[in-house]
Amino acid sequence: MPVEALGDYDDGNVFARILRGDLPCKQVYADEWALAFHDIAPQAPVHVLVIPRGRWRSWADFSAGATDAEIGGYVRAVGHVARMLGLETPGYRLLANAGTEAGQEVPHLHVHLFGGKPLGPMLAG
């Protein structure tokens, strides 16, 4: 069910539970700003989610309200994960859904990192 990009943060969302350690994940990387783990329903040979540790619903509130340190730490973590996974040379795709028309389902900011095969057109349909 798609969610709004803005609004109160829901501490019960699935990624908040993963961050607290209440739910397991297949971790790829963690630092003080971000956590990266494999998507539970991968749509490419590599499909990793990178999330900030802060309570941000989407790119919309994060880009407006996060500190420069949070934004810098998060963006660097995304790049670090792509490097770690050896995706810079073959290439990779980043995707962040924000709000209902984008089909965002989890109300905690996340970037999808796809790779491991030619990824085809940017948008389906």
Calculate the CA dihedral of residues 112, 116, 122, 125 and round it to 10 degrees: -100
Which of 69, 94 has the CB closer to ligand 5GP? 94
CA–CA dist 123, 125 (Å, integer):
6
Task: Establish whether 112 is a catalytic residue.
Answer: no
Helix ranges (DSSP H) in the chain:
14-20, 59-65, 68-84
HSE toward the beta carbon, residue 40, CA cutoff 13 A: 7
Binding mask 13-42 for ligand 5GP (x = CB under 6 A): -x--------x-x-----------xxxxx-
Q: Rule CB under 6 A: which of 45-84 touch ligand 5GP?
A: none
Which of 79, 103 has the CB closer to ligand 5GP? 103
Q: Which of 48, 106, 111, 113 binds ligand 5GP (CB under 6 A)?
A: 106
Residue matched to tokens 């990009």:
5
The binding site for ligand 5GP (CB under 6 A) comprises 14, 23, 25, 37-41, 97, 103-106
